[in-house]
Chains A and B, each alone.
Chain A
Amino acid sequence: MTRAGDLCLSCAGARVTLATSSDDRHPADNIIDGNPDTFWTTTGMYPQEFIISLNGIQKINKIILQSSLVRSVRIESSTSKEPVNFELRLERDLENTEGHLQYEEFTLPGVQVAHMRFVILSGFDHFVSVHRVSAEGDK
C-alpha cells in the first residue's frame, strides 16, 4: 500500500475558496501551503469560516487541523461541483493548548469530498489562527 498523500496542499491542486477574515500579512492560502509556521488569522467576531476545495472529488480518511485558540469547530463537506450543498460531518470542542499548536485529528473513513467547510464557532480569545489543514486519502 502506498502512503497517502496530503490532498490539502496548493501544490496538489487544493484552493481556499472562501475565508471570512483577511489580513494581507496572514492570508488564508497559508492554511494549504504545507508550512505550519505560516498561518491565517481571524480578525474578530464569531463564527468564522473557510472552505478548502480539493482537486476534484477525493476519498479521504482523516483530516488534521493545526490551529490555536479554537474552542469549537464544525466540519462540513460537499461533493458538488461548486462549494454548495454542504453536509454536516462533525462538531467538536477543542482543548486550549497554551504555548503550542492545537493538533486535532478527525477520522472520516472513506468519505468522498470535493469541498470542506470549517466553521469556527467560538474561540478561547478574540482571534484564532489556523496554521495547517491536511486531509489524507488512500489513493
Chain B
Amino acid sequence: MVKLSAKCIVAGDTTVGKSTLVQLFRSDGSHFPKNYSMTTSMEVSVKNVQIPDTGDSVELFLCDSPGKAIFYEVTEKLWDQPGALCLVFDVTNESSFSSCAKWLQRVRAKTFSPQLPGVLVGNKTDMAGRRAVERGQAEEWAASNGLEYFETSAKELENFEQPFQALAKAFHHLYQERVENFRSLM
C-alpha cells in the first residue's frame, strides 16, 4: 500500500471556472462558490483520491492558479516540478480555448520528467446555447497534445470528479512503471 503525492497545477484563462472546479472536487460537490472571486495568488487544496482495485491512493495538491496575466510572474515561480496538469477552458469562450496551448507550454517547461499526466477540461457545458468550442475540436487538440479530454458543468455538478480521478490514476500508473524500471537497474 502506498500513498503517492502529486503537485497538480490547475491552469487556464481567467473566469473559466478553475477555482469552482477545485472547490467542488475538494468538498465532494458540497461547495459551489456562487459569487465570483478572482484568484490572485496560487491557492493549494489537498484531496486524497483512492485508486480503484488497489490499496493505493494519490494525494493531489491542487494548485489553483490565477488566470489573469498580471499575476503570472509570481505564479510561475511556484510551479516548479509539477506532477500533473489540469488545463481548464470555458466552452463558451473561444479565446480561453486557444490560450490552452500557451498554458500547456508554460507548465511543461517546469518539469524535467518526460511525461506529465494532463487533462483538458471544457467547463460550463450547461450554457449549451452559447457554446463556441465543439467537443470534437477540443478532443482532437487534447489528443494531439497527449491530454485526456473531459467536459464538465461545475454549475450542474456534472463530471467534476472525473478529470481529477483520471489524473490520479495516470500518476499512479507512472509510479508503477517507474518502480518496474527501478527493479531492472544494475
Contacts and interface: CB of A to CB of B under 8 A. Distances in A.
Interface of A: 22-26, 36, 39, 41, 43-46, 68-69, 71, 99-101, 122-127, 129, 131
A71 B112 CA distance: 9
A126 B174 contact: yes
B182 A68 contact: yes
A39 B182 contact: yes
A126 B83 contact: yes
B4 A43 contact: yes
Nearest to A68: B185
A71 B80 CA distance: 14
Interface of B: 1-7, 58, 61, 80-81, 83, 112-115, 171, 174-175, 178-179, 181-182, 185-186
Contact of A44 (B80, B83, B181, B186): B83
Contact of B114 (A24, A125, A127): A125
Contacts, number: 75
A122 B112 contact: yes
A24 B56 CA distance: 11
A100 B54 CA distance: 29
A99 B112 contact: no
Contacts of B3: 43
Contacts of B174: 126-127
Contact of B178 (A24, A25, A71, A127): A127
Nearest to A99: B185
Given A45-B81, A124-B112, A24 B185 contact: no
Contact of A41 (B5, B61, B179): B179
A107 B83 CA distance: 33
21 contacts: A22-B2, A23-B179, A25-B2, A26-B182, A36-B186, A39-B182, A41-B178, A41-B182, A44-B171, A45-B7, A45-B61, A68-B182, A69-B178, A100-B185, A123-B81, A124-B113, A125-B112, A125-B178, A126-B83, A126-B113, A126-B175
Contact of A126 (B61, B178, B185): B178
Which of B112, B171, B178, B182 gathers most chain A CB within 10 Å? B182
Q: Which 3 A-B pairs have the closest CB atoms?
A: A23-B2, A44-B5, A129-B182
B77 to A, nearest CB: 15
B186 A127 contact: no
Contacts of B112: 71, 122-125
A126 B171 CA distance: 9
Contacts of A127: 174-175, 178-179
Given A123-B112, A126-B113, A127-B178, A100 B186 contact: yes
Which of A23, A25, A124, A125 gathers most chain B CB within 10 Å? A125
